[in-house]
Amino acid sequence: MIIEVIVLPGLATNCYLVGCEKTRETAVIDPGEEPQTILKRIKAAGLKAKYIINTHGHADHIMANGEIKKATGAQILIHEEDAPYLTDPHKSLVEIMGYNVRVPEADKLLKEGDVIHIGTTVKLEVLHTPGHTPGGISLVTDKVIFSGDTLFAGSIGRTDLPGGSYEQLIESVKGKLLKLGDDFIVYPGHGPTTTLGEERVSNPFLN
């Protein structure tokens, strides 16, 4: 499995390119800003973008959707409960953050248990992990989790924005993510990678 990490400016969002080594098909996870930077990385790595997957609908995870879709033809995927965020600049915080960006609607809506196939070797399972937003998701594959803004190294996603719920977020982490093995590597929406084992022991929000 190919994993390329692109740290975008602004709120330092982690955009991930997750690809199949055999076919070079790739998913672009959370393209928040600077679409040209992301497109250059896709080209330089010889990848073919098939999907744009948003772990949730906030501005810093969706604003490059349109330009990447236009350039590559990739389909936009987001959980059904966060789909309205894409086309509502107030709900997504695009407006509040002072951006003038139009984000296309989703091509496909995701739900708990869906499996996204990338090429012939990569399967991303959708876990619905609400709390940061109602439709927040984490994506799970071979010993790897892309956790969006659900779980960070030493922290969790904020829950004070509209649609947030601290109780839901803690349940998402403890009831779903921590049920996976301690050796799972966590690629969060912001900040460094970690492991579930490390977070289980040292994350102050989980103890």
Residue 197 has pLDDT above 90, yes or no: yes
Positive/negative CA dihedral, 109, 82, 193, 112: negative
pLDDT band, residue 96 (cuts 50/70/90): confident
Model confidence over 74-94: pLDDT tens digits?
999 999 999 999 999 999 998
Q: Which fold has domain 2-206?
A: Metallo-beta-lactamase; Chain A (3.60.15)
pLDDT at 95: 85
Q: Provide the pLDDT for residue 184.
A: 98
What pLDDT score was predicted for residue 11? Answer: 87
C-alpha dist (Å) from residue 71 to 57, 83, 137:
21, 22, 25
Question: What DSSP string runs through 111-127?
Answer: -TT-EEEETTTEEEEEE
* pLDDT tens sequence across 16-32: 999 999 999 999 999 99
Helix (H/G/I), strand (E/B), else coil: 172: helix
Give the whole-angstrom CA distance, residue 176 versus residue 131. 13
Mean pLDDT of 184-197: 98
Model confidence band, residue 101 (pLDDT cutoffs 50, 70, 90):
confident
Q: Return the pLDDT at 87.
A: 95
pLDDT value of position 207: 86
pLDDT at 121 over 90: yes
| pLDDT of amino acid 126 | 98
Predicted local confidence at residue 98, as pLDDT: 78
Judged against a pLDDT cut of 90, whether residue 97 lies above it is answered with no
Quote the pTM value. 0.97
Domain ranges for the chain: 2-206
